[in-house]
């Protein structure tokens, strides 16, 4: 994806108030991120570890979604679970259930969308083999390009559910 600035990121959020978007944590090393290898920017807020963010180009523009990790949802050491975006299988808490507040009236009524994600939101790096999941990986016959396409489709579906 194209490199983003702090301003791009802060103005992209669809499910936060303006005040929240101003205060939320943005990676301090934006220039150093491997943008060429990212399908979307995903990160956990270093100042608020239960919070995570996904920022993606969505055809019409940049869409940012704030996520909240559900406490205790990271599975234990023996259990394996799968990220709903990149379908990487992790053990040892590498996948967590995170919820996103829906946009608009639905969100104001407290409705959220919950899905399992790579705990570090680094899906792009797992599917390219730049990061390895802890535990046994299931071998897949898909090419990297196919995994990228699948991840983008899953992400588009997720973003559409948040903004439904
Ligand atoms: Zn993932």
Compute CA distances 126 → 81, 94, 100, 111, 133, whole Å.
14, 11, 22, 30, 7
Q: What's the 65 CA to ligand 1 centre distance in angstroms?
A: 15
Residue 10's pLDDT is 97
Helix (H, G, I), strand (E, B) or coil at 20: helix
Residue 135's pLDDT is 66
Helix (H, G, I), strand (E, B) or coil at 79: coil
* Alpha helices, H only, 68-118: 104-108
- Quote the pTM value: 0.91
Residue 91's pLDDT is 81
Q: Rounded to an integer, what is the distance from CA 127 to the centroid of its chain?
A: 14
Residue 78's pLDDT is 58
Q: What's the 94 CA to ligand 1 centre distance in angstroms?
A: 9
Q: What's the 11 CA to ligand 1 centre distance in angstroms?
A: 24
Residue 150's pLDDT is 97
Q: What's the 61 CA to ligand 1 centre distance in angstroms?
A: 22
Q: What's the 131 CA to ligand 1 centre distance in angstroms?
A: 11
Surface-to-core class of residue 164, CB atoms within 10 Å of its CB (0-12 exposed, 13-18 middle, 19+ buried): exposed
> What are 146-158's pLDDT values in tens digits?
999 999 999 999 9
Residue 75's pLDDT is 54
Residue 73's pLDDT is 62
Do 76 and 70 contact (CB within 8 A), yes or no? Answer: no
> What are 69-88's pLDDT values in tens digits?
998 765 555 577 899 999 99
Sign of CA dihedral 127, 116, 69, 75: negative
Q: What's the 9 CA to ligand 1 centre distance in angstroms?
A: 20
Q: What's the 144 CA to ligand 1 centre distance in angstroms?
A: 14
Collect residues with CB below 5 Å from ion ligand 1: 83, 85-86, 88, 118, 123
What is the spatial distance between Cα 84 and Cα 42, in angstroms, rounded to a whole number? Answer: 14
Residue 71's pLDDT is 80
Low-confidence ranges of the chain (pLDDT < 50): none
Q: What's the 124 CA to ligand 1 centre distance in angstroms?
A: 7
What is the spatial distance between Cα 42 and Cα 66, in angstroms, rounded to a whole number? Answer: 10
Q: What's the 156 CA to ligand 1 centre distance in angstroms?
A: 14
Beta strands in 88-131, from DSSP E residues, in sequence order? 89-90, 95-101, 112-118
For the CA atoms of 116, 120, 122, 125, the dihedral, rounded to the nearest 10 degrees, stands at -120
């Amino acid at each position: 994806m194209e490199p983003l600035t702090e301003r791009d990121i802060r103005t992209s959020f669809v499910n936060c108030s303006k005040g929240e978007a101003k205060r939320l944590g943005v990676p301090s090393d934006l220039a150093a991120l491997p943008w060429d290898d990212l399908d979307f920017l995903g990160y956990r807020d270093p100042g608020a570890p239960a919070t995570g963010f996904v920022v993606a180009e969505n055809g019409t523009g940049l869409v940012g979604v704030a996520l909240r990790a559900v406490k205790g949802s990271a599975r234990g050491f023996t259990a394996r679970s799968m990220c709903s975006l990149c379908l990487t299988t992790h053990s040892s808490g590498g996948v967590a259930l995170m919820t996103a507040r829906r946009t608009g009236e639905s969100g104001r009524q407290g409705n959220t969308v919950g899905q399992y994600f790579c705990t570090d939101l680094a899906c792009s790096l797992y599917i390219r083999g730049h990061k390895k999941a802890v535990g046994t990986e299931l071998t897949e016959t898909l090419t990297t390009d196919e995994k990228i396409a699948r991840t983008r489709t899953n992400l588009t579906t997720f973003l559409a559910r948040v903004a439904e």
